[in-house]
């Protein structure tokens, strides 16, 4: 019942909770600059949460978090969902099988990831396997038909950040429904669990700085609004 309550800005309590959890999770992973409702560079979209991470002698990284509280937020209403979803599940199974075989034949593709050492990245695209490329192409096309992935595809294509995460409740998580290349953070017992590791996307230094600037602007604006509310409350009392 509480999750369905709409706030004055049109946001549900559940969506606000997912954003807050994503914010806290990002900070726990070393992203020192975080903000909610951040306008992304070079596109018209806004991220639920955006974060920036910098550590000595390591590559700077930026991350975007999108929170979805219901399947209707992901799925399009005007497609044959049953047939498309069955095809999507079959494609996902084929992808997992092919990745297992590729990893066995190309063990050097596996490289340690400093952000998530317990999850190693596998850059299968680097080998130029045509069958794998076709499989990923069909996977993205099916997801675009079934889910509202236009935004997801575009912010990746525009290189808005290095890492992208979909944040969902536990009952909503289904691996085939996570956009290709995105990580999945699943809410469980009041915390987020990394259920799928994201693919690293290269971006430009200019885009990283632009996103950091927008994070700073949004965080400052939020702090100013909170201070104004507190000041007004003090005057009223």
Same domain, residue pair 102 and 120: yes
Q: What is the mean pLDDT of residues 135-152?
A: 75
Lowest-confidence range among 29-43, 49-63, 111-125, 132-146? 111-125
* Residue where a domain stops, chosen among 99, 124, 146: 146
Tokens 């104004």: give the residue: 228
Cα gap 75→147, rounded to integer Å: 4
Same domain, residue pair 157 and 186: yes
Same domain, residue pair 107 and 180: no
Same domain, residue pair 69 and 151: yes
* Residue where a domain stops, chosen among 114, 129, 146: 146
Same domain, residue pair 132 and 166: no
Same domain, residue pair 96 and 44: no
Same domain, residue pair 151 and 70: yes
* Residue where a domain stops, chosen among 93, 117, 146: 146
pLDDT at 235: 57
pLDDT at 91 > cutoff 60: yes
Q: What is the mean pLDDT of residues 123-131?
A: 74
Same domain, residue pair 128 and 96: yes
Q: What is the mean pLDDT of residues 136-161?
A: 79
pLDDT at 118 > cutoff 50: no
Of 79 and 176, more confident = 176
Same domain, residue pair 157 and 195: yes
Same domain, residue pair 14 and 30: yes
Contact 49, 29 (CB under 8 A): no
At 63-84, the pLDDT tens digits run: 999 999 887 666 543 344 566 7
pLDDT averaged over every residue in the chain: 82
Of the chain, the percentage scoring pLDDT greater than 70 comes to 76
Same domain, residue pair 165 and 225: yes
Of the chain, the percentage scoring pLDDT greater than 90 comes to 41
pLDDT at 81: 59
DSSP secondary structure string for all residues of 150-215: HHHHHHHHTT--SEEEEEEEGGG--GGGSPTT-EEEEEETTEEEEEEPPPP----HHHHHHHHHHH
Q: What is the mean pLDDT of residues 135-143?
A: 83
Of 211 and 130, more confident = 211
Is-above-0.95 flag for pTM? no
Q: What is the mean pLDDT of residues 122-150?
A: 75
User: What residues make up the domain containing 200?
Assistant: 2-75+147-236
Element (H, E) at 117: none
Q: Structurally, how many domains does the chain consist of?
A: 2
Same domain, residue pair 160 and 197: yes
């Amino acid at each position: 019942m509480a999750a369905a309550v709409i706030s004055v800005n049109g946001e549900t309590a559940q969506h606000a909770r997912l954003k807050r959890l994503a914010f806290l999770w990002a900070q726990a992973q070393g992203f020192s600059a975080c903000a909610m409702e951040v306008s992304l560079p070079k596109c018209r979209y806004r991220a639920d949460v955006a974060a920036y991470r910098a550590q000595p002698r390591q590559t700077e990284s930026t991350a975007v978090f999108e929170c979805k509280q219901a399947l209707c937020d992901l799925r399009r209403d005007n497609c044959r969902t049953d047939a498309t979803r069955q095809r999507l599940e079959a494609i996902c199974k084929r992808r997992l099988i092919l990745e297992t075989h590729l990893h066995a034949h190309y063990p050097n593709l596996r490289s340690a990831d400093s952000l998530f050492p317990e999850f190693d990245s596998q850059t299968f695209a680097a080998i130029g396997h045509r069958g794998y490329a076709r499989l990923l192409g069909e996977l993205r096309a099916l997801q675009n038909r079934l889910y509202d992935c236009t935004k997801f595809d575009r912010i990746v294509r525009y290189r808005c950040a290095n890492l992208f995460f979909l944040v969902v409740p536990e009952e909503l998580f289904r691996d085939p429904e996570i956009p290709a290349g995105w990580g999945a953070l699943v809410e469980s017992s009041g915390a987020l669990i990394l259920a799928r590791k994201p693919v690293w996307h290269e971006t430009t230094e200019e885009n990283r700085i632009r996103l950091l600037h927008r994070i700073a602007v949004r965080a400052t604006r939020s702090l100013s609004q909170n201070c104004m509310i507190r000041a007004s409350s003090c005057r009223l009392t």
